[in-house]
Amino acid sequence: MKTFSTDQLDQLKAPLSRDVVKGRKQGGRNVSYVESWHVISECNRIFGFDGWVCETLELKCVAEKARLIGEQEKPGFGVTYIARCRITVLDGMISRDGVGAGHGIDVDAGQAHESAIKEAESDAQKRALRTFGNPFGLALYDKLQTNVADPVDEQEASRQRYIAACKKKIAEFKDDDRDGILRWWHSDPERQARRDFDLNPAEVIELKGLVTAKAKLPPTGAT
């Protein structure tokens, strides 16, 4: 049975970054939300561009009436739609449904319907996706928002990802491939990468210790 990879599970469990959380007034209270473009971007990042599907299973207009719009009280229309969307991942192994509503107000009836339809589909899509984890807005349903984290320093995050990738690469070398791991460690691209990511001496020594242990060499200083 196909399941999420360890990396995907880690990303689904990760806190939601506070810098993607938006706010608005709704019903006299402040509401936190994530934008539709963000959840789509997260789907592509975590599941892959070809790893997920969104279907609109139901779309229905439930209200439409004439109304006055704005301070000038122009004649217009108010429209409400409901939608049900399904998100499917892992080649159909997992499907989640969500129901949402959208409201459109415009002097033009067609524009009001268009706005309501788009909002209803986006709302339903986000409600389906929230069940997959914090990156899709699940963290916002906790009033304390304990899984909403302050944005990380991207440069530092990139540096840590490089260190993690190095450790993974070292672990993948076979125990008898001494020449291979030493060529990799001393190669010009890796030397440059260690400089570009500004590894401090302690981090270099830690990585080199893993290399020398794998290559069964006596420990030496950082280079």
Domain spans in the chain, listed from the N-terminal domain onward: 6-149, 154-215
50 token code pair: 């070809």
Cβ within 8 Å of residue 150, ≥6 positions away:
17, 18
Fold classification of 6-149 (topology level): Enolase-like; domain 1 (3.30.390)
Q: How far apart are CA 106 and CA 120, in angstroms?
A: 16
Cβ within 8 Å of residue 74, ≥6 positions away:
68, 107
The predicted pLDDT at position 150 comes to 82
Residue 69: strand pairing partners: 74
Strands ordered across the beta sheet of 94-106: 52-69, 74-89, 94-106
Q: How far apart are CA 34 and CA 26, in angstroms?
A: 15
The predicted pLDDT at position 155 comes to 80
- Cα-flanking dihedrals φ and ψ of residue 158, to 5°? -65, -40
82 token code pair: 């409901």
The predicted pLDDT at position 222 comes to 47
pLDDT (tens place) for every residue of the chain, 223 residues total: 778 998 899 999 999 998 899 998 887 888 999 999 999 999 999 999 999 999 999 999 999 999 999 889 999 999 999 999 999 999 989 999 999 999 999 999 999 999 999 999 999 999 999 999 999 999 999 988 999 988 766 788 888 889 999 999 999 999 889 999 999 999 999 999 999 999 999 999 999 999 999 888 765 554 4
The predicted pLDDT at position 218 comes to 63
- Letter string b/e over residues 175-212, b meaning 16 or more CB atoms within 10 A of that residue's CB: eeeeeebbebbeeeeeeeebeebebeeebebebbebbb
- Which sign, positive or negative, has the C-alpha torsion 200, 206, 210, 211? positive
Q: How far apart are CA 129 and CA 95, in angstroms?
A: 10
